[in-house]
Structure 1
């Protein structure tokens, strides 16, 4: 373990600002002397002690609760002391400073030059408490990330899914796959070590069957992880189209609020307007953009800049709602401009053709609209008819569906690791199908798949990745 992770640490563990209750948390070896100096008594493990928190003169800074959790039965696996006081920011800073002050005081008051009460106590880095929980085997890496995801959850579904991940809903199937690959690797490498036995490994050990079963389980897990990533990251959707097609009206209808200004004047929207909505618990980040037209048709420089930003938003989107104005379908200039926009949309973009203003046209116009190979929806942003179909379509193109056992939260790095593991497992299956076995190559593919799975739970995670993950946590967690 790195030396800086052996230092005792302290931080304010509650959110910044005023609150009814605030907490200062300390973690490290042997915190009883520190606790005794702060609360005037030796704390009993896992009991709440109500009383004063004392300053250097023995006067109370505040009255509150102190809880002491001795190692290894604590969140971090070390001794943990929690001081719960009134949640004023000044008081929290006073308690934090008092902890650091007491730590530097002599352990024995009669020996001024003796060892300090809590040597090396320092302010915690972001995520350091959870990092220590991971390093002390209280949580694996996927569970540690779920702690941050639970705090950051933007929807009820995301919060419940993060709680499932914290409980091991992702870690358990990954570990089971991990263990299955270990067994298979042992058999393959044992065969490599003892070729003189002339054992038909692939048949007698059912290597192909084992590989097939592992591949099926991995595919199921990857699909479930994709659903979890959608809950965490959401879907970014850009509304694009010509001026006055009803883009801002559609944003307002989806959001259920007047977020964007709507007028009959072309070019009213000059810049991006964004709002996050929920569809069956999935966060959908909807972006309204400036109306698209050729630069020479823009009324001024501001509108040209807005159009440029619209194209950038389209390039970054997960999906594009290409809005068409049903009231102008018969106008050659409008049809040509729509075609030009369609040609410029990114080739790989998932798009939905949205025919707006259905309330303003008759059935003949609706029947005459173009029949797209891509998904299309007819609606009225003004009356909101057709909005439910649009919501369902967005979930379909995102690949969202219900998971029988419930969704767990997942991150993009989990998906990448699972895809890498799947690729190497497929290579292993191809090698296992060869007549000569190619056992040395098969063993290598199994090892690479095994390592990719290990990166999810932290068995084979580089230190620089750990630093990046935990640096994104809040201080005190």
Structure 2
């Protein structure tokens, strides 16, 4: 790789005012550049106080110097970190000095890309670095750190090794059919293939659940006018986010409020009441409500009477996506002297509450929690990316095809090809099989200096 021939550098801390800044250098000239700037030879893995001067000997800053000798470093190369004062000027002066001494500006994600190319991280672990940086909740950060430690990759490799063992036996039958003619007849290899496929399906399911933690879950509140949608938004958010009045049609636009539920970020969206109207402003509000329903991960359908639960469900039926999760909320139980409760139906879960008093709100939160998958233990889910899920899906398809061919005890060569394709799909997750285009796509999304 060209990391053997050039040295890269970047400011690794966020821009703007701050107490400390870090300029990171990686490559074979890192030590030489550090010695020229600091006027001393840094010791390996020892924090040293140093004065940093430019090529003309003018003092730029005073701070700390760290040297990590490759391959025992983040990138696998010689790495130097210059810790100076923060701000807009000093870090840039230090970086300019480093560049003049022979380094070049690092591309986004290039430090982690070199770590991958030098075998310090696999591709899934490299992606976990940016996932950790971009975590939007405590759970997302926990999952990202687990992936960075290799838990997700280890599970992929366990599947890959099991599949490789099956491939060895199948290829052996193809190459030497007289050696083991009863391999498929006794069903043992089919059982192992079925077990591998089931393990893959469980991993795929947990990966899909983990996607919820990558982005905020969008919870959209819908209903007829004046059923208490805005009151529920205010109760959920704990603030007077939306105007609440007895006059129907008060909410005419979409109102959003971000909140956290057990560490999962949720975007709660209040919408205009859906009804027939000739008012152009209200009609636009209804149109925006229907658009939000299309973008929702979870829909809360609000009614203010027992009769409305069924009637409103029928009214909204043409716009409800059967694949989207729906919770029906019976609001205003305080007017009926009714009790908060939760019940299930064929169509959806139902929660009876009062947005005005808050009675029943914990039941709604529990229902949202279950619908969002928060009842799953953190260690059972993976903060997977779309490409990981796509690869697992493709691997599952190829395993299913291989199982079908082998069950018929015919076309074993086609089964072997399907097993190969499945194996390659798993290899693409960890980067054992990759293309330059894929690496460029992944690492371009990193920040400079990482």
Residue 69 and residue 156 in structure 1: after superposition, are their counterparts in 2 closer, same or farther (change >3 A)?
Answer: same
Relative to 1, partners in 2 of residues 1:337 and 1:221: Cα closer, same or farther, differing over 3 Å?
closer
Q: Which moved more, 1:314-323 or 1:346-355?
A: 346-355
CA contact (8 A) 1:146 1:162 kept: yes
| Range 166-175 or range 274-283, more displaced | 274-283
Secondary structure (helix, strand or coil) at the match of 1:239 reads: strand
Report the 3-state secondary structure (helix = DSSP H, G, I; strand = E; otherwise coil) of the residue aligned with 1:430.
Answer: helix
| Alignment-derived partner of residue 258 in structure 1 | 240
Task: Say whether 1:160 aligns with 2:124.
Answer: no
Contact 1:161 1:406 in 2 (8 A): no
Give the aligned partner of residue 180 of structure 1: 162
Q: TM-score, normalised by structure 1?
A: 0.87
Taking the aligned partners of 2:76 and 2:244, their CA distance within structure 1 comes to 57
Match of 2:369 among 392, 395, 407: 395
Distance 1:188 1:134, change over 3 A: same
Cα distance change on mapping 1:138 and 1:181 into 2, 3 Å:
same
Separation in 2, partners of 1:165, 1:335: 45
**1:238–1:320 Cα contact (<8 Å) kept:** yes
- Size of the aligned set, in residue pairs, is 449
Give the corresponding residue for 1:351. 326
Q: Deviations over 1:266-321 (max 9, x none)?
A: 33323222223222222222222222223xx15333x3333222211111111211
TM-superposed deviation, 1:130:
1.0
**Structure 1 residues 253 and 6: CA distance shift in structure 2, 3 A:** farther
Q: What are the equivalent positions in structure 2 for 1:319-468 lying under 5 Å apart?
A: 319-326=298-305, 329=307, 339-363=314-338, 373-403=347-377, 405=379, 407-434=381-408, 436-468=409-441
SS at match of 1:201: coil
**Counterpart-to-counterpart distance in 2, 1:218 and 1:348:** 23
Structure 1 residues 369-411: Cα deviation after superposition (integer angstroms, max 9, x where no partner) = 9966321111111112222222222233334433384544222
Moved more, 397-406 or 42-51: 397-406
TM-score relative to the length of structure 2: 0.92
* Deviation of the 1:198 alpha carbon: 5.8
* Secondary structure of residue in 2 paired with 1:217: helix
How many angstroms apart in 1 are the aligned matches of 2:354 and 2:274? 20
Task: Determine the structure 1 residue equivalent to 2:132.
Answer: 150
Counterpart CA distance in 1 for 2:344 and 2:191 is 50
Question: Equivalent residue for 1:287?
Answer: 269
DSSP 3-state at the match of 1:392: helix
In the alignment, is the contact (CA less than 8 A) between 1:293 and 1:337 conserved in 2? no
Structure 1 residue 59: Cα displacement? 2.1
> 8 Å contact 1:241–1:338 — kept in the other structure?
no
Q: In 1, are the aligned partners of 2:231 and 2:355 still within 8 Å (CA)?
A: yes
Instruction: Say whether the 8 Å CA contact 1:202–1:437 is kept in structure 2.
Output: no
> Are the equivalent residues in 2 in contact too, given 1:424–1:449 (CA < 8 A)?
yes
- Aligned with residue 280 of structure 2, among 296, 300, 311: 300
- Deviation track 1:206-260 (CA, whole Å, cap 9, x = no partner) reads 3112212212322332233233222223422111112222222212222222222
In structure 1, the partner of 2:38 is 39
Structure 2: gaps (5+ residues): none
> Given that residues 223 and 312 in structure 2 are in contact (C-alpha distance below 8 angstroms), is that contact kept between their aligned partners in structure 1?
no
SS of the residue aligned with 2:283? helix
Partner of 1:115: none
Task: Give me the whole-angstrom Cα distance separating, in 1, the residues matched to 2:394 and 2:302.
Answer: 37
Q: Secondary structure at the match of 1:153?
A: coil
Give CA deviations for 1:407-434 in whole Å, capped at 9, x if unaligned. Answer: 4422232222222222222222222221
Which whole-Å CA distance do the structure 2 matches of 1:176 and 1:348 have between them? Answer: 32
Shift of the alpha carbon at 1:204?
6.7
**CA RMSD of superposed structures (Å):** 2.6
Once the two structures are TM-superposed, the CA of residue 177 in structure 1 deviates from its matched residue by: 0.8
Aligned-partner Cα distance in 2 for 1:6–1:52? 28
Per-residue CA deviations over 1:334-384 (Å, capped at 9, x if unaligned) read 9867633233223433211111111122449x99x9966321111111112
Q: Who is 2:61 aligned against?
A: 62
Deviation at 1:4, TM superposition (A): 8.1
Equivalent residue for 1:113? none
